[in-house]
Chains A and B, each alone.
Chain A
Amino acid sequence: MTILEPVSEVDVEVTVNGRSHRHRVAARLLLSDYIRDTVGLTGTHLGCEHGYCGACTVIVDGDAVRSCLMLTVQADGAEIRTVEDLAPEGASSLSPMQQSFHDNHALQCGFCTAGILMTLESVDPTDWSEPERIIELLSGNLCRCTGYQNIVAAVAQAWNSEGDV
Chain B
Amino acid sequence: MKPAPFDYCRPATVVEAVEALGSAESGRVLAGGQSLIPAMNFRLTDVSLLVDIGHVTDLPGVDTEVAGVTVGATATQSRVLNDDDAARVVPGLRAALRHVGHLQIRNRGTVCGSIAHADPAAELPALAVAAGAVIGITGPDGHRTVAASDFFLGPFWTALSDAEVVTEVHFPAAPVGSVTSVDEISRRAGDFAVAGLVAVIEVGDGAVRSARLVGFGVGGAPARLASAEAAMAGWAPDHPDRRLMEAAVEDTADAFDDIHATAWYRREAVATLLVRAARRALANGETS
Contacts and interface: CB of A to CB of B under 8 A. Distances in A.
B234 interface: no
A74 B3 CA distance: 15
A137 B190 CA distance: 11
A162 B6 CA distance: 50
Interface in B93-109: 101-105, 107-108
Interface string B104-117: 11011000000000
A70 B37 contact: yes
Given A49-B1, A50-B41, A140-B190, A4 B9 contact: yes
Interface stretch (A25-33, A83-91, A103-111): A25-33
Contacts of A73: 8, 10, 52
Interface stretch (A14-22, A58-66, A92-100, A149-157): A58-66
A139 interface: yes
A140 B102 contact: yes
A137 B55 CA distance: 29
Given A6-B20, A8-B8, A69 B3 contact: no
A2 interface: yes
Given A2-B10, A28-B4, A28-B6, A74 B102 contact: no
Nearest to B27: A6
Nearest to B54: A74
A5 B107 contact: no
Given A65-B108, A74-B52, A4 B11 contact: yes
B104 A57 contact: yes
A164 B54 CA distance: 43
Given A3-B10, A136-B189, A139-B188, A51 B34 contact: yes
Nearest to B101: A140
B104 A28 contact: no
A69 B33 contact: yes
B104 A54 contact: yes
Contact of B33 (A33, A57, A74, A140): A74
The DSSP consensus for interface residues of chain A is mixed
Contact of A49 (B6, B41, B103): B41
Nearest to B4: A28
B187 interface: no
Nearest to A51: B38
A140 B38 CA distance: 16
A73 B8 CA distance: 9
A10 B6 CA distance: 12
Given A28-B4, A73-B52, A64 B103 contact: yes
A28 B2 contact: yes
Contacts of B2: 28, 30, 33, 49
B16 interface: yes
A82 interface: no
Contact of B105 (A49, A51, A74): A51
Contact of A139 (B7, B12, B42, B190): B190
Given A50-B42, A69-B108, A6 B1 contact: no
Given A27-B50, A51-B34, A63 B78 contact: yes
B5 interface: yes
Nearest to B109: A69
Interface string B1-32: 11111111111100010001000100000100
A119 B20 CA distance: 36
A129 to B, nearest CB: 15
Interface of A: 1-8, 10, 26-28, 30, 33, 48-51, 54, 57, 63-66, 68-71, 73-74, 119, 123, 136-137, 139-140
Which are the 6 A-B pairs with shortest beta-carbon distances?
A140-B102, A49-B1, A27-B8, A6-B7, A63-B107, A3-B10
